[in-house]
Amino acid sequence: MTAEKVAAEDRMSRLAQRAKGRHDFCVATRLRLTLYTTLDRSDLAADVFLDWLRRDGTSWSSHPTHEDVMREYERIWVLLAGRAIEDLIDLPLITDPDVLDTLDVFTEIMTPSQLFDENLNSLIICRLVTLSLEHGNCDASCFAYVWLAMFAGPRFNNYKDGFRFGQLGYDLVEKRGLTRYRARIWMNMVRPCCPGQSMLPADAISCGAHSTLHIGSATSPLRRTAGIS
């Protein structure tokens, strides 16, 4: 609130150092990621995230290879195990607090990682999805599915399944009440995930799998998002 950025950075660093347990360290990490996102320092956000990940037992490069990304992307389809994407709406809700903390940290690094390194961003998105497939759904899962929808086409040449994941993320918000990231999800859903197509729900787009978005329909989620914000 005081706009004292240097002081805020110092306080957040000391907060992380004083964390008494994993949960506290995850909360402090999320706050630092939010701060560096606000300061437009995606490089520092990446450093904080990767340090947190190493402390949690996983070591990633700040600039993963395309092969690293594809391995995690392919795990999505292995974990689906023949199920339809739409069936994932019935996954049990996550109750393990450690898993929820992990997913929350991954969620906060999504935006700055997009500005830092495309492969790192893709790896984070895919890992967030695979964690959901392994453990169940939560608020962060909705966010993960919608982000996968945005990039499944341009990065993995899979526009069709990308759209289906986007619909899944929306349905989890609207039908299962996972509303924590509702505003972010609606904002992302008005971005196109397919050529000539938006990630708006079926009742907000014109008929047909390859229909185009009606301008009037597009403004509805935006108005609702503004109301939440």
Mean pLDDT, consecutive 10-residue stretches, the chain (229 aa), reads 64 73 93 94 96 95 97 97 94 96 96 96 97 95 90 93 91 79 63 49 40 38 47
Bridge partners of 194, per DSSP, are: 197
Residue 79 CA: distances (Å) to CA of 65, 85, 86, 188: 22, 11, 14, 25
String of DSSP letters for 119-158: HHHHHHHHHHHHHHHHH-B-HHHHHHHHHHHHHHHHHHS-
Whole-number pLDDT of residue 175: 85
The two tokens of residue 103 are 């997913």
Whole-number pLDDT of residue 2: 55
String of DSSP letters for 157-226: S-HHHHHHHHHHHHHHHHHH---TTHHHHHHHHTSEEETTEE-S-GGGS-SSTTPPPPHHHHHHHHHHHH
Residue 143 CA: distances (Å) to CA of 99, 110, 123, 165: 15, 10, 15, 10
What backbone phi and psi angles, to 5 degrees, belong to 4? -85, 90
